[in-house]
Chain A
Amino acid sequence: MLNDIFIAPFVDMFTAPDFLMQVLWEGLVSGILYALIALGFVLIFRSSRIFNFAQGIMVVFAALSLVGLFAMGVPAWISVGLTLGVMFVLAVVIERVVLRPLVGQPDIILFMATIGITLFLIGFGETIFGGENKVMITEELGIPTGDTVLEPFDGLLILQHLDITVVVVATLLVLGLLAFLNYTQMGRAIRALGDDHQAALSVGISLQTIWVLVWFIAGIIALVTGIAWGARAGVSFALEVIAYKALPVLMLGGLESITGAIVGGLMIGILEKLFEIYWGQPLLGGNTETWFAFVLALIVLLFRPQGLFGERIIERV
């Protein structure tokens, strides 16, 4: 038994390094998507102290809009543009109708409001687009679907072109977002608002503008995740669960930290894959990916309640 836990898995890793690389690669692909979604959560949380429960349904809504528009005969890339428009309108409406009247209410009320948004979007989405599964317009968007076979260590490593595209696009998006936050005035305004509301007001930052902006960014992230995940699993309301994968990422990385979201996402993506293949399947009958991340996050929380990168909460007595 101890052998199975502590020795055999590592022996497997070393005897078949090509397979290990395959596992790591697949972990990286999901990890970068988790990181991207977590980033959406962090941006909204930092600028408004709202934990956005609706992030998951935004992924679904974006993917459905894209597929729906295409089905109506709109060319693929124009559909993407229009879907971005839809996400922007959604951000404006959410800010006006939901957030603005609730400014200054306790955090839990705002959290409940995002659950309300989730339920509304589920119903609204089904009314417009119907509840049946749809296929993501992968080829029409020009996303390559073949694969490349490498042979490291005399073994076999299969890289799906779709996965490569996802990694490249998501990495570019993350880097772009970091640059935007760090080197532009609006990015500075977003970070400033997260640090201190009063001070932000005093330098002329408008809460409303920034809120629309971060919700729109969350919408862009939702669209990219929707395309990437939809291309593998089809477009349905079940896509929503991918956002809940971001929860352990946030527990691990801390709700305020952008670095935390990125590192946490990659860590969870890779570790859950490793655990599933080398421990989960042989010892526990598989399907550990649904819960492993949460257990990992809980263990981290035992030692660092603020997460790996969260702000330390010190209370003066």
Chain B
Amino acid sequence: MKDTEGYVTADGRQIGGTLMEMRNITLRFGGVVAIQDISFDIREGEVRAIIGPNGAGKSSMLNVISGFYTPSEGEVWYKGAKRPPMKPFEVARQGVARTFQNIALFEGMTVLDNVMTGRLTHMNAGLASQALWWGKARDEEMENREKVERVIDFLEIQNIRKTPVGRLPYGLKKRVELARALAAEPSILLLDEPMAGMNVEEKEDMSRFILDVNDEFGTTICLIEHDMGVVMDLSDRVVVMDYGKKIGDGTPDEVRNNQDVIDAYLGVPH
């Protein structure tokens, strides 16, 4: 699995080399070990899933990737270099965008403004320029606006552009959050349970959008889910976690037939 040549997926897409690699990550909170010595990689252009039962440490892993947690041990390698300890906003500026399990949107702002904040990672104009709305800031604003409108069109939320986010139903909020992450034109898009709490129809919409994003923009996606059905359809490769340990890693088919994985999900008599 150490080749960097990439591979071809079942549906014939070419996957590139390693974009991000977790090496022997361990995360402790006091005496609790949330993640124990886990390694895996994310290849360019693939949809990579992390699954596992509740409390397996999936969200902790995502938080390590996005810089919200600093691992107690182990290294994160990104674009071929070891990543020093970083604040979450610095990780974001390196091209890692994410969504949250419990939706973290700016409730008081409109959909458009929310998605515009996604462009903050691309902000170069200085304070003076912004305060006077002159020169660079103005050009940037126009350019950002154009890109944001494209994302809004793509995710089919044009009709709610000017609506304050606080008024939207759950499913749409999730989509706005995806739009904000996408507006950053990220190298890696992290999705923390993008389908949690959705009804069947919303789940189907969301799955379609995730696949379309991967297809259209070639965005590398790493997502967490515990709905096995959804994950198996969406992803190219799957990491399975249980009690903070990695118990499986491979294509959906390989994982489905892995005895440890079956035991973790169905339970075994002790």
Report if A195-B184 is in contact (Cβ < 8 Å); known contacts: A184-B130, A189-B117, A189-B120.
Answer: no
Give me 22 A-to-B residue pairs in the complex whose CB atoms sit less than 8 angstroms apart, sorted by A's number: A180-B131, A183-B133, A185-B116, A185-B120, A185-B123, A185-B125, A185-B137, A188-B117, A188-B120, A191-B106, A195-B106, A198-B104, A200-B106, A201-B68, A202-B97, A202-B181, A203-B118, A203-B120, A203-B121, A203-B180, A204-B92, A205-B120
Residues in A whose Cβ lies below 8 Å from that of B100: 198-199, 202
- Among A180, A195, A201, the residue within 8 A (CB) of B130 is A180
Separation of A187 and B68 alpha carbons in the complex (Å): 24
Separation of A84 and B184 alpha carbons in the complex (Å): 34
Question: When the two chains form their complex, are residues B121 and A204 in contact, meaning their CB atoms are under 8 A apart?
Answer: yes
B105: Cβ under 8 A from any A Cβ: yes
- B101-149 at interface with A (beta carbon < 8 Å): 104-109, 113, 116-121, 123, 125, 127, 130-131, 133, 137, 140-141, 144
Question: When the two chains form their complex, are residues B108 and A213 in contact, meaning their CB atoms are under 8 A apart?
Answer: no
- A162-189 at interface with B (beta carbon < 8 Å): 176, 179-180, 183-189
In the complex, the 6 A-B pairs of residues with the closest C-beta atoms, listed nearest first: A199-B104, A204-B92, A195-B106, A204-B121, A201-B88, A184-B130
B208: Cβ under 8 A from any A Cβ: no
- A188-229 at interface with B (beta carbon < 8 Å): 188-189, 191-192, 194-196, 198-207, 213
Separation of A194 and B181 alpha carbons in the complex (Å): 19
Closest A residue, CB atoms, query B107 = A195
Closest B residue, CB atoms, query A212 = B127
Q: A172 to nearest B CB, angstroms?
A: 13
Residues in A whose Cβ lies below 8 Å from that of B217: none
B43: Cβ under 8 A from any A Cβ: no
B82: Cβ under 8 A from any A Cβ: no
Q: A114 to nearest B CB, angstroms?
A: 24
Question: When the two chains form their complex, are residues A192 and B106 in contact, meaning their CB atoms are under 8 A apart?
Answer: yes
Report if A203-B144 is in contact (Cβ < 8 Å); known contacts: A188-B116, A195-B106.
Answer: no
B98: Cβ under 8 A from any A Cβ: yes
Residues in B whose Cβ lies below 8 Å from that of A198: 68, 100, 104
Closest A residue, CB atoms, query B102 = A198
Q: B183 to nearest A CB, angstroms?
A: 9
Question: When the two chains form their complex, are residues A202 and B109 in contact, meaning their CB atoms are under 8 A apart?
Answer: no
Closest A residue, CB atoms, query B124 = A185
Separation of A176 and B134 alpha carbons in the complex (Å): 14
- How many residues of A are counted as interface, with CB atoms below 8 angstroms from the partner's CB atoms? 26
Q: A309 to nearest B CB, angstroms?
A: 12
Q: A108 to nearest B CB, angstroms?
A: 25
Q: A47 to nearest B CB, angstroms?
A: 12
Residues in A whose Cβ lies below 8 Å from that of B98: 202
Separation of A201 and B105 alpha carbons in the complex (Å): 12
Residues in B whose Cβ lies below 8 Å from that of A213: 127
B203: Cβ under 8 A from any A Cβ: no
Closest B residue, CB atoms, query A185 = B123
Question: When the two chains form their complex, are residues A199 and B92 in contact, meaning their CB atoms are under 8 A apart?
Answer: no
Separation of A224 and B141 alpha carbons in the complex (Å): 29
- Among A185, A191, A199, the residue within 8 A (CB) of B141 is A185
Report if A202-B92 is in contact (Cβ < 8 Å); known contacts: A185-B123, A185-B130, A188-B120.
Answer: yes
Residues in B whose Cβ lies below 8 Å from that of A183: 133, 141
Residues in A whose Cβ lies below 8 Å from that of B93: 204
Q: A104 to nearest B CB, angstroms?
A: 13
Q: A92 to nearest B CB, angstroms?
A: 13
Q: A42 to nearest B CB, angstroms?
A: 13
Closest B residue, CB atoms, query A183 = B133
B7: Cβ under 8 A from any A Cβ: no
Question: When the two chains form their complex, are residues A192 and B109 in contact, meaning their CB atoms are under 8 A apart?
Answer: yes
B89: Cβ under 8 A from any A Cβ: yes
Contact mask for chain A residues 136-156; partner B; CB cutoff 8 A; 1 contact, 0 none? 000000000000000000000
Separation of A19 and B121 alpha carbons in the complex (Å): 56
Residues in A whose Cβ lies below 8 Å from that of B109: 188, 191-192, 195
Residues in A whose Cβ lies below 8 Å from that of B87: 201, 206
Residues in B whose Cβ lies below 8 Å from that of A184: 130-131, 133, 137, 141
Residues in A whose Cβ lies below 8 Å from that of B123: 185-186
Report if A201-B92 is in contact (Cβ < 8 Å); known contacts: A180-B130, A185-B144.
Answer: yes
B18: Cβ under 8 A from any A Cβ: no
Q: What 11 additional pairs, Cβ within 8 angstroms, besides A185-B120, A201-B88?
A: A191-B109, A195-B106, A195-B107, A196-B105, A198-B104, A201-B89, A202-B89, A203-B92, A203-B117, A204-B89, A204-B92
Separation of A191 and B120 alpha carbons in the complex (Å): 13
Q: B217 to nearest A CB, angstroms?
A: 18
